[in-house]
Amino acid sequence: MELTAAERLDLEALKNKIEEQLHGQGVKFSEREIQHIEDMKNKIHAHVDKKILIEKLASIAQGNDPIDKSLYEKYDVKRGLRNKNGTGVLVGLTSIGDVVGYEVKDDKKVAIPGRLIYRGYNVESLIKDAEAHNQFGYEQCAYLLLFGKLPTQDELNEFNELLGSMRALPDNFTEDMIMKAPSDDIMNKLARGVLASYSYDPNPEDRSLSNVLRQCVELISRFSTLTAYGYQAKRRYYDGKSMYIHNPLPELSTAENFLRLIRNNKAFTDDEAKLLDLALILHAEHGGGNNSSLTVHVVSSADTDTYSAIGAAVGSLKGRRHGGANIQVSQMMDDIKENVKDWSNENEVKAYLEKIANKEAFNHTGLIYGMGHAVYTINDPRATLLRDKAAKLAREKGLEEEYNLYKMVEKFSPDILYNKHGDGKKICANVDLYSGFVYSMLNIPRELFTPIFAVSRIAGWSAHRIEEIVAGGKIYRPAYKNISAEREYVPIEKR
């Protein structure tokens, strides 16, 4: 508050100083110039007054809303929809995906090696099949998630042609909805792009399954285009760099088109596209209980349109506790690289990780980003697969020293956090630890890390929306217990 008052004094002093200088040289302000200074001063004062009022109101809200933590225990509140043993509260059933990391025996979680299941199939099998046939696998993965069956080659070709025919955005959409309203945050731009798609849909409110499926397939096809164009607009309007708007090609895969659209020369290698394709497969689905997929179920249960449900999911994924975690990992690794002199010195790396865990370094939260998962304990299969690919790419690009630094974070963090918190559970690296490193080696800008997650996860979100429409039928309505006492109303003149 004192600083804002000082700003007022500084503004007045500056005006007086300028007047004295100019008058001393025989120069005077015209009445119009004086009025302009007064107008600017009034605008600044009004801005400062608003800021003071907002800070005052925020202080009131901060003091009014805390809830005694003991009450959560008293009323057996499942905070974060988690049971006391760490398992998720069962709120629904799904046949789309499964995240396996533990078994429950005698009401206790028993860790087992992690598995990621899409429609009953281990995701590792999907990846091996794509590699064996030298094919891009994300489109087959999307087909499987949507329709619950593995496609024949003819069915896959037909589906790929359908996706390819839909990749271009509607007429005037790029100029009117992206270029005229750019955003510094591409996830925000993507969410707005999804909501704006409602206005370009000739039948946005039809909840029939065929129409919803058509909308979902269009979004799966166009998410890479929406994201890439949002990135190009950011480059132009926020970064002061050149903007390149390339047309997507219908014959290219999602991974290929995305790399084509974000690069000024449209160039990419097959190896680059295949590695991005792997990342898209690994991020496409993660069960119905993750925050953004649950958001799709909750919002869809209200019987709203597809664009509102998917837009809400994008907002969820943007969060730093969800899809935004890979950015946190990259920022943490920047900090480690800056403060650890010898990246190969295990003792030095371990000591700095302990500082991070003790809230003495990085962002002082005590979190080692890229470590831990709600379900996986022994290993996150996504992290394992990306780590192995990252090792190969790091050797090719001469980045083995940096790769080994990531490996040390994975090696030492579980024991450091276990000794710090002593909660009886050790943790493993999650997919975010290596995904950002892989993207950076592909020369993908950091601001696209989380949007790539969305480009992939739209397949899973679409499957969950369809499942909610087909098998749901009840609006989500959990309970919140009010803990405040009723009060007698006080007339305004007596307050």
Q: What is the pLDDT of residues 233-283, one digit of tens each?
A: 999 999 999 999 999 999 999 999 999 999 999 999 999 999 999 999 999
Residue 245 class from Cβ within 10 Å (0-12 exposed, 13-18 middle, 19+ buried)? middle
| C-alpha span between 186 and 263 (Å, rounded) | 16
Rounded average pLDDT over 33-43: 80
Active site residues: 322, 373, 432
Question: Are the CB atoms for 330 and 436 separated by under 8 Å?
Answer: yes
Alpha helices in 442-487 (DSSP H): 449-471
What's the pLDDT score for residue 65? 82
> Phi/psi of residue 477, each to 5°?
-150, 75
- Picking from 8-12, 105-109, 286-290, 342-346, which range would have the lowest pLDDT averaged per residue? 8-12
Rounded average pLDDT over 319-323: 91
Residue 27 has pLDDT above 70, yes or no: no
State how far Cα 191 lies from the chain centre: 11
Residue 178 has pLDDT above 70, yes or no: yes
Smallest CA-to-CA distance from 388 within 323, 343, 428, 437 is with: 437
**Average pLDDT over the chain, rounded to an integer:** 93
What's the pLDDT score for residue 12? 66
Q: Tell me the C-alpha to C-alpha distance, in Å, between residue 110 and each of 84, 396, 410, 434.
A: 14, 39, 21, 26
Residue 10 has pLDDT above 90, yes or no: no
Smallest CA-to-CA distance from 204 within 190, 218, 192 is with: 218
Residue 22 has pLDDT above 80, yes or no: no
| C-alpha span between 39 and 36 (Å, rounded) | 5
Residue 20 has pLDDT above 70, yes or no: no
Single-letter residue type at 30? S
Residue 372 has pLDDT above 80, yes or no: yes
By percentage, how much of the chain surpasses pLDDT 70? 94
**Residues whose CB falls within 8 Å of the CB of residue 279, separated by 6 or more in sequence, listed in order:** 386, 435, 438, 439, 452, 456
What's the pLDDT score for residue 17? 60
Residue 370 has pLDDT above 60, yes or no: yes
> Phi/psi of residue 88, each to 5°?
-80, 145
Reported as a pLDDT band with limits 50, 70 and 90, residue 18 is: low
Rounded average pLDDT over 277-296: 96
Smallest CA-to-CA distance from 379 within 418, 436, 426 is with: 426
What's the pLDDT score for residue 1? 38
What's the pLDDT score for residue 38? 83
Question: Are the CB atoms for 79 and 374 separated by under 8 Å?
Answer: no
Question: Are the CB atoms for 141 and 281 separated by under 8 Å?
Answer: yes
If one compares 34 and 166, the residue with the highest pLDDT of the two is 166
What's the pLDDT score for residue 3? 43
- Dihedral of CA atoms 220, 226, 229, 234 in degrees, nearest 10, equals -130
Reported as a pLDDT band with limits 50, 70 and 90, residue 75 is: very high
Rounded average pLDDT over 337-360: 97
Instruction: Please state whether beta strands 108-118 and 121-122 pair in parallel, antiparallel, or not at all (unpaired).
Output: antiparallel
Residue 347 has pLDDT above 50, yes or no: yes
What's the pLDDT score for residue 8? 60
> Phi/psi of residue 82, each to 5°?
-115, 140
Q: How confident is the model over 206-229, as pLDDT tens digits?
A: 999 999 999 999 999 999 999 999
What's the pLDDT score for residue 374? 87
If phi > 0 it is left, if psi is from -120 to 50 it is alpha, else beta; for residue 26 that is left
Q: How confident is the model over 383-431, as pLDDT tens digits?
A: 999 999 999 999 999 999 999 999 999 999 999 999 988 766 779 999 9
Residue 7 has pLDDT above 80, yes or no: no
| C-alpha span between 371 and 380 (Å, rounded) | 10
CA angle centred on 432, ends 431 and 437, rounded to 5°: 105
Residue 440 has pLDDT above 90, yes or no: yes
| C-alpha span between 33 and 39 (Å, rounded) | 10
Q: Tell me the C-alpha to C-alpha distance, in Å, between residue 252 and each of 18, 133, 156, 160, 443.
A: 62, 17, 14, 9, 20
